[in-house]
Structure 1
């Protein structure tokens, strides 16, 4: 199933004891409706374990069921809270939503508080290609820091800036730390040369990650997996999701201005 969710309402994607998570909310409803009996037997898996606060409009989960007729987005969305099912697909038995993925697209939303957009675009170009992203991630022992970014686009519509980042795979906090670099470049606090050096040399102190609440996992890409989308469910999710997101951006901007003035 292709899913959207408001990450600000959850303690991340992955199940955690006594905490509300995206995975737990989906499993709650699937179990309630008898679609699955338990997640282990159903082989429940997710494409991306997004962090606390990070939202999605195109994450993917997969599971086995003998009752596919009950997986209609309209049925599930009636019971889900802060999660929307956008579409579904029948997949091969060995399908894994993470390992079969051909790439991911993230979007980060910013209000333009006087940023130099051209500088932000120039800085974004530095990250495209294959690089060691050790200085732009929270590293895990078993993860190779070499990653490839296929593209970064900086788009402005009114006061809202959208930074879209596409790549095959990402390290923990990688997108959010790149966003911090772009913001600092666009505000004049960092030069493009300094950002280049961060990609090429070890640094004593890494840039902090940008807030997770503005980040959306926009799409997980696959070859030859086609989701049957429900137009009504998609439009309903778009309306409810982006109404919340727009309100968050306005509120975040007000508080940012307030703290800056202190």
Structure 2
């Protein structure tokens, strides 16, 4: 609106591809909307009514308004337009998306990545994920079946592979890893719940087959109580579409690269400082050893068990002193109970099947009361 590219959000036909929580980042977020065009008149603009031309019929995109350049001049520093693409009127960033990919970054210190990978693969396929999300019943979400196309856990090399292998090799507590998951659609907090379970598996607190148990809603219709993973390592990494030709503005692209390099420099220096601090604390005095005399220093990096507890900081809440397995914990309120709760408050309507069950139950109660009254009247006579 500030750049006069749209009149307002309501008339701009605005859609966004994915939803991100507060604290979650997006690299591949895509939005669609009707913008003022230099080549095609948009409704409400000086160009007159919207044209019926398709993107293929229009003039070369090099003659179009420099959308990325215009918008990046007024956007906050942490939001940038990377490119734009002409699209037909039937296109929607939300409904035309083929699939979305999320990535969750985490250090591998103290984690069994083999177990995490085995557990992650069990997410693939079409399942009911009600035990691995926050059930958003109040907003009318009653179907929790989703299709996961890919779920993998792997290590991540640094920007300079040789330097990374020399300084912070992937096998060290400070080597970075990621959980990548691709699906046609996601539920509220689904990836963060999935990651929480994977972290428990990686810490050997749960076995990989716990994923199968959580996906079995017939045996486990109610979600065990557990904390989900924190938000900041999660990124909406990519959104896939057919027949989109992205247009990059060379000046805007150069500015984006420079801007991100500056941000990376600040964070990389801070990361290196912290790593140096940890190296400095890596050796410290410890108790005398009776067999071979005093040893003034101990290499805490090679301590057994390893002094690596990064995974604890990636789960919300406080870790209890005594761990209780997921399937032995208290259960959350079931789906049907939540549906009835919000239906009574008028937030949603009961599904037809549950409405019929309610009517049958009310009929049984009325018949029982009528029979009780008839029995009392007979005794009185």
Q: How many pairs were matched up?
A: 230
Partner residue of 1:90? 86
Summarize the Cα distance change of 1:204–1:168 in structure 2 as closer, same or farther, 3 Å threshold: closer
On the 8 A contact 1:135/1:203 being kept in 2, the answer is: yes
Partner residue of 1:183? 199
Q: Which has the larger radius of gyration?
A: 2
For residues 132-189 of structure 1, what are the alpha-carbon distances to aligned partners after superposition, in whole Å with 9 as ceiling and x for unaligned? 1010011223331111111112121331111111010011111110001111001011
Summarize the Cα distance change of 1:126–1:233 in structure 2 as closer, same or farther, 3 Å threshold: farther
On the 8 A contact 2:3/2:70 being kept in 1, the answer is: no
Classify the secondary structure of the residue corresponding to 1:83: coil
Matched, 1:153 2:152: yes
Matched, 1:220 2:236: no
Counterpart CA distance in 1 for 2:214 and 2:246 is 40
Matched, 1:202 2:221: yes
Summarize the Cα distance change of 1:221–1:256 in structure 2 as closer, same or farther, 3 Å threshold: same
Which one scores higher on RCO, CA 8 angstroms, separation ≥ 6?
1
Counterparts of 1:227-246 in structure 2, within 5 Å, are 227-230=246-249, 231-232=253-254, 235-236=257-258, 238-239=260-261
On the 8 A contact 1:148/1:168 being kept in 2, the answer is: yes
The structural deviation recorded for 1:226 is 2.2
Partner residue of 2:370? none
On the 8 A contact 1:84/1:233 being kept in 2, the answer is: no
Counterpart CA distance in 1 for 2:199 and 2:311 is 18
Counterpart CA distance in 2 for 1:210 and 1:249 is 22
Partner residue of 1:122? 118
Name the structure where strand makes up a greater proportion of residues. 1
Partner residue of 2:24? 54
On the 8 A contact 1:136/1:207 being kept in 2, the answer is: no
Summarize the Cα distance change of 1:149–1:36 in structure 2 as closer, same or farther, 3 Å threshold: same
Comparing 138-147 and 96-105, the one that deviates more: 138-147
Partner residue of 1:34? 4
| TM-score calculated relative to the size of structure 2 | 0.55
Matched, 1:102 2:72: no
The structural deviation recorded for 1:92 is 0.8
For residues 85-104 of structure 1, what are the alpha-carbon distances to aligned partners after superposition, in whole Å with 9 as ceiling and x for unaligned? 11101111122110111000
Instruction: Identify unmatched segments of 5+ residues in structure 1.
Output: 1-30
Partner residue of 2:133? 137
The structural deviation recorded for 1:123 is 0.8
Q: CA RMSD in A?
A: 3.0
